[in-house]
Amino acid sequence: MSIFQIKQTKSGAVLWTGAADNEQTALDAMAREAGYRDFSALPDAIRADGIEAAKLDLNA
């Protein structure tokens, strides 16, 4: 597993940070913690500002 950080691209707000196997499972985990079934169930208003998932490099 890797550590991912999910941000809203427009505001730069960090929405979630945690362990996941890949970008898609990270997006789904973020959505579940927010009370949604998965990433596709998020309201369009949230996704409209753009959401990016970045794998964090913790070996620095």
Give residue-wise pLDDT tens across range 18-49: 999 999 999 999 999 999 999 999 999 888 88
19 token code pair: 């362990």
Please give the residue that has the higher pLDDT: either 57 or 56: 56
Does residue 21 fall inside a structural domain? yes
Which of the four pLDDT bands, split at 50, 70 and 90, describes residue 1? confident
Q: What is the pLDDT of residue 58?
A: 77
Position 60 in a domain: no
pLDDT at residue 11 tops 70: yes
- DSSP code string of 3-60: EEEEEETTT--EEEEEEESSHHHHHHHHHHHTT-SSGGGS-HHHHHT-EEEEE-----
Structural domain for 31, as ranges: 2-55
Looking at the domain assignment, is residue 25 inside a domain?
Answer: yes
The count of domains in the chain is 1
Name the band, by pLDDT with cuts 50, 70 and 90, for residue 60: low
